[in-house]
């Protein structure tokens, strides 16, 4: 799939007319743009990319979009709220939100959250060795919600605010921040729904 076709497909998958799964969670506290959430466990397809913050997302997105578009070893039919297409190359998996980006040493972890109907055992196995499946355990997350660009400066500004929120509540961060992008690349920058999430005690 060419770059333009891939981005167009991503936008079509992310249109409001289609039901987009999100990880199941309960909101424990809300204060302006900040939330504390308890997440149930879920399964992700993830890949690791070397590079700069603002560049790694595109490469990771391409790999993972290819996986949910049929580059997997399964040919089973999957019933979902979004339309599902099946072809001999493998299962078509509905796009979910968010796309996660997280630093892992000198690399970045990019992940797609899979629909809740999948377990680690039942999710189609990737054909690309750079894409792996992983189970995310239930956890509590401190979250800041914001709209706008995916720039490093904007991210750093919101991250600083989230860290202040965590400190003011006497919480302890338990892992690296996760940059969660809920919209496809062709969404106008001023409409993009973004979050930074940090696991806390």
Q: How many residues does the chain have?
A: 201
pLDDT, position 112: 85
Ranges of the chain with pLDDT below 50: 1-19, 75-90
Q: What's the angle, vertex CA 179, arms to CA 136 and CA 165, rounded to 5?
A: 95
The confidence score (pLDDT) of residue 154 equals 94
Check residue 28 and give left, alpha or beta (phi > 0: left; psi -120 to 50: alpha): alpha
Is residue 172 within 8 A of residue 96, CB to CB? The reply is no
Give the span between the Cα atoms of 191 and 105, in whole angstroms: 31
- Pairing of the two strands 86-87 and 193-200: unpaired
What is the Cα–Cα distance from 61 to 72, expressed in whole angstroms? Answer: 16
Domain of residue 84, CATH code = 3.20.80.10
pLDDT at 95: 65
Measured CA to CA, the distance from residue 6 to residue 130 in angstroms comes to 19
Nearest partner of 159 among 176, 171, 172, 174, judged by Cα: 176
Is 75:164 a contact under the CB 8 Å cutoff?
no
Domain count, the chain: 1
The C-alpha R_g of the chain, in whole angstroms, comes to 17
Conformation bin of residue 157: beta by default, left when phi > 0, alpha when psi is -120 to 50: alpha
Asked whether the whole model's pTM tops 0.85, one would answer: no
pLDDT tens digits along 13-44? 444 434 457 788 999 999 999 999 999 998 88
Sign of CA dihedral 189, 148, 9, 48: positive
Evaluate whether 40 touches 24 at the Cβ level (below 8 Å). Answer: yes
d(CA 128, CA 86): 19
Domain span including residue 176? 3-200
């Amino acid at each position: 799939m060419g770059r333009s076709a891939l981005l167009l497909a991503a936008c079509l998958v992310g249109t409001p007319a289609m039901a987009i799964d999100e990880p199941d969670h309960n909101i424990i506290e809300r204060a302006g743009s900040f939330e504390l959430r308890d997440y149930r466990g879920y399964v992700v397809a993830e890949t690791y990319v070397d590079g700069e913050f603002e560049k790694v997302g595109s490469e990771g997105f391409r790999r993972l979009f290819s996986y949910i578009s049929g580059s997997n070893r399964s040919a089973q039919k999957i019933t979902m709220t979004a339309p599902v297409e099946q072809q001999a190359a493998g299962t078509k998996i509905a796009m979910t939100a968010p796309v996660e980006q997280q630093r892992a040493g000198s690399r970045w972890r990019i992940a797609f959250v899979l629909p809740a109907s999948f377990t680690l055992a039942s999710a189609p196995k990737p054909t690309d060795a750079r894409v792996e499946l992983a189970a995310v355990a239930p956890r509590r997350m401190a979250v800041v919600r914001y709209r706008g660009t995916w720039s490093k400066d904007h991210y750093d500004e919101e991250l600083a605010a989230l860290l202040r929120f965590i400190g003011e509540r006497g919480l302890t961060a338990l892992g690296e921040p996760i940059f969660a992008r809920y919209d496809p690349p062709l969404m106008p920058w001023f409409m993009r729904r973004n979050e930074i999430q940090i696991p806390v005690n």
